Amino acid sequence: MCGIIGYTGPLDSKKILLEGLSQLEYRGYDSAGIALCMENSRIQLVRHTGKVSNLKKGCEEISQVSHCGLGHTRWATHGGVTTENTHPHKAGRVILVHNGIIENYHQLTTDFHLEGKLLSETDSEVAAWVLESLYDGNPAEAISKLVSHLKGSYSFCMMFEDHPGEIYAIRNVSPLVAAYTHSGSFVASDLTALIPYTRQYFVVPEDHILRLTSYKVHLYDLDLKEQEPEILEVNWNMDAAMKNGFPHFMLKEIHEQPDALKNTILPRLAKGLPDFTDDQIPDYVFKDCNQVQIVACGTAMHAGMAARALMEPLLRIPVTVSIASEFRYEDPLVDDKTLVIIISQSGETIDTLAALRLAKSYGSRTLSVVNVKGSTIARESDYVLYTHAGPEIAVASTKAYSVQLAALYMVCCRMALVREKYSVAEAEDFMKKLLDSIPAMEAMIEKRDMVKALVTHLINKPDAFFIGRGLDYAFSLEGALKLKEISYIHAEAYAAGELKHGTIALITQEVPVIAIATQENVFLKTISNIREVKARGAFVILLTKEGMNVEPGIADIQISIPDIGDRFTVFPIAVVLQLIAYYASVGKNLDVDQPRNLAKSVTVE
């Protein structure tokens, strides 16, 4: 939530900041602004509501070149979408941009006598004024004092009027990466803004002060002792963060799924079996536990739901899935015999991170499934399984979901093997089927026009239902989330057998039902439930497997996926569900990649 960029160096900072903000816009797009350090230390602020394109227009008349500046794209938390609430904020000599939430901003306003000074409703401006109050000419000292007053999460980038050409930064929870290159020094919320300039970067450690000059990046601990950053190498290229001819990132990312799956699975296959040696995950992690607790949010949580439906019957131990924002305030039944699996694309989702920390405090072993290298969740987990999806830019998660599933399926297979629920031959067969899901996904991507055609039955409807049983129910949850998120059609996922206990009252001719029936063991039961909604006039879109016999008249439209074994149907089904949401959003002429009210990385509670 919120994208931050800072640059100092020989190049034109305005251009770099605006390009960087376009790359970071998916993190928040309510308003955007930049602060440029001009000649004689004059600071020029330009701030606009709406997207970065508005800011770009607003910057057109700036002719003087600046070599140092800060930029911010906002996802509003405190205060509405107004120019005053747009970052950067200027407080006396301090210019500041912020990602996160300062929880005690009210108290700070009183303690530092800020009433009358504040021009915005934001917690961020309060932080800027507190910093100004603590500032006596030494920025690093003032920042070190500032953090002792703050409660909450933050990444801040700051300039000080009397230190032209320098940028300071600090973070707690909210992400920041930095790099020094021959073209100058950079700091940003994530790598997508840095990748045009460098392949080497470092994750700013929490509670460390960063000082950028055009010559070097310095890192200090809070006692102001200089530290050596741990340099990492980017493992994807700029193409991965571009649309490359696709009209939207979401469509591109749907198409990237077969390759993403290969990248996640193949390096971990040894003699046809899942092998986590290179990930440094020893087998005792999988053996020495008597329950599995999965924790995540949103789509990642839905990947966990599908994995649970596979794991529990196979491993014969309890597997529970919890929503991270609930789990973190419960007194969860986890202990040192619980394997806690944390799933997060960004590795920064604040509730998921808090859940990880809670699980560790209970003595549980933690394994995270994360896409972003070096992210906080990855760094704090006992073990990490990186998914190799490359950057996911569209707010609606697609490829991250399928690689999370692939990683979890491999974990499940390895657990079954080491816990002697699977013979080697059974595990090999499982992995073979997992690989078969790649061409099955490709086949469904090929059939995209068929999906495109069916959305005419959805886009003028206010509501839709997704129904299924067992694994199909887990897939329905994700299908409904995708549709809601980008087409703004209210969609509910329901266990097909549960509808008749009240909710079927909502089914009319005006409510299309997307029924998923790929599981042999409950197929006939789901068909009965489809008959029930059909009898109430619903328009039924049935997603099933090739070879499953459905009587005429049960469904209005039927789409069949290749038969690759019931447990693996999620992969091709996910493609169909993603395409339904995608084409519904396109059909309604909506902003597919940046739907309203949302942001990609949820770093606030």
Footprint on this chain of ligand M6R (rule: CB under 6 A): 297-300, 344-346, 349, 352, 395-397, 481, 485, 601-602
Closest contact distance (angstroms) between CB of 395 and ligand M6R is 6
Reply yes or no on whether 600 is catalytic. Answer: yes
Three-class SS state of 549: coil
Task: Decide whether 322 or 529 has the Cβ nearer to ligand M6R.
Answer: 322
CB atoms within 10 A of CB 597: 9
Residue 350 beta carbon to ligand M6R: minimum distance, rounded to whole angstroms: 9
Minimum CB distance to ligand M6R, residue 349 (Å) = 3
**AA identity, residue 356:** L
Nearer to ligand M6R, 6 or 298 (CB): 298
- Given 56, 90, 484, 600, the catalytic residue: 600
Tell me the closest approach of the beta carbon of residue 110 to ligand M6R, in angstroms.
34
Residue 6 · residue 210 · CB < 8 Å: no
Residue 92 and residue 43: Cα distance in Å, rounded?
11
Side by side, the strands of the sheet bearing 490-495 are: 490-495, 463-468, 513-517, 540-545, 557-561
What kind and span of H or E run contains 177? strand 177-181
Joined tokens for residue 329 = 């305030």
Dihedral angle of Cα 266, 269, 273, 277, to the nearest 10 degrees: -140
Instruction: Give the residue with the Cβ less far from ligand M6R, 395 or 471.
Output: 395
Q: Indicate the residue among 88 and 391 with the shorter CB distance to ligand M6R.
A: 391
State how far the Cα of 176 lies from the Cα of 188, in Å rounded to an integer: 6
The one-letter amino acid code at 443 reads A
Residue 124 CB, nearest approach to ligand M6R (Å) = 22
Q: Which of 2, 59, 68, 157 is catalytic?
A: 2
In the complex, the smallest distance separating the C-beta of residue 298 from ligand M6R, rounded to whole angstroms, is 2
Beta partners for residue 45, in sequence order = 35
If the CB atoms of residues 46 and 303 are measured against ligand M6R, the closer one turns out to be 303
**120 vs 398 by CB, closer to ligand M6R:** 398
Tokens for 202, please give them: 């470092």
- Nearest residue to ligand M6R, using CB? 298
| Alpha-carbon dihedral 310, 313, 318, 321, rounded to 10 degrees | 20
Which amino acid appears at position 281 of this protein? I
Task: Quote the distance between the C-alpha of residue 89 and its chain's center.
Answer: 27
CA atoms within 13 A on the CB side of 482: 30
Would you state the structure tokens that stand for residue 579, as one six-digit string?
């395409």
Let me know if 2 is a catalytic residue. Answer: yes
State the catalytic residues.
Answer: 2, 600
